[in-house]
Structure 1
């Protein structure tokens, strides 16, 4: 890689890391895993940077790598066996605080209830504000699949949000 290509990659990484972290967090619901996913994404992108950036903007390509890394992470058998019932002791940092990133706890909890494909389409479509064609390109599927997965995901989100509202009102009544 030439020094100019290296500099352009560094500039891309500086400009897009926060956006990629936010997307990764919305996909997985865990800031630590989100950072790992972004790091893996940037490593994979760096390996092909000399070819990738010649073709124009690499935003969709980086999102595609990120989503595929997340899908791969979901398939790992040790991830299913891992029990996460405790909290990592640390000071809350504005970089890893969902509220500081403009994310509500309700949104993160609701997204966690979706299937991985539905979550990916909803996050890319509405949280990243991508058109259907770009989401299809990122996920490597047809536009019809994106539309159907998004519709199912939104229906599931509505059901989850309705359930959260019912639980919140029941909690308030019991006080």
Structure 2
């Protein structure tokens, strides 16, 4: 058991930042991303020997688990948590890893995509996966992956083509 714990700790140490960055792109907020990753790692730990010993990589397994958790998490999260609204509401949250990017508008538009489209676009262009790998993660067919990516990109292109003033009013 000690070796498993050391192996798990080593995995978390090596991959936690990348997993959180990936989850930020999915969830749109660093705090939510950290919660997603923590939730998944907590569930994976008891089965770490099985996960790390499987034919596929442990990173791919955990990334898929984060994707699945993200796709189902929003429904459960909204029913489990009550958000207090006092007189002082927090500022709009920004994507921490992407703060250096100049096009905040693009990241806002990405956050507005439906979850499946967003996950497919992030997996394609952030994780650089092909249709087969994305289909395995999302649990759908390759044609569905291509449709999600195509629709997501079309929505982004359409919104980007919208003049800045119209986009601001759209928010």
TM-based fold match above 0.5: yes
The answer as to 2:164 corresponding to 1:167 is yes
Equivalent position SS for 2:140: coil
Task: Work out the CA distance in 2 between the residues paired with 1:67 and 1:44.
Answer: 14
Do the aligned residues in 1 keep the contact of 2:159 with 2:167 (CA within 8 Å)?
A: no
- Tell me which residue corresponds to 1:67: 67
Task: Work out the CA distance in 2 between the residues paired with 1:157 and 1:19.
Answer: 24
Task: Work out the CA distance in 1 between the residues paired with 2:16 and 2:150.
Answer: 29
Query: Which shifted more, 139-148 or 68-77?
Result: 68-77
Q: Deviating runs (4+, > 4 A) in structure 1?
A: 79-85, 168-171
Alignment partner of 1:87 out of 78, 90, 110: 90
Do the aligned residues in 2 keep the contact of 1:64 with 1:138 (CA within 8 Å)?
A: yes
Task: Work out the CA distance in 1 between the residues paired with 2:62 and 2:155.
Answer: 27
Offset of 1:10 from its aligned partner?
Answer: 0.9
Do the aligned residues in 1 keep the contact of 2:67 with 2:138 (CA within 8 Å)?
A: yes
Size of the aligned set, in residue pairs, is 163
Q: How does 1:102-141 map to 2 (within 5 A)?
A: 104-141=103-140
TM-score normalised over the length of structure 1: 0.80
Offset of 1:47 from its aligned partner?
Answer: 2.0
Give the CA RMSD over aligned residues.
Answer: 3.0
TM-score normalised over the length of structure 2: 0.82
Unaligned 5+ segments in structure 1 are none
Deviation by residue 1:70-102 (Cα, 9 ceiling, x = unmatched): 12222134389858893269xx9xx935325x6
Equivalent position SS for 1:130: coil
Task: Work out the CA distance in 1 between the residues paired with 2:68 and 2:145.
Answer: 16
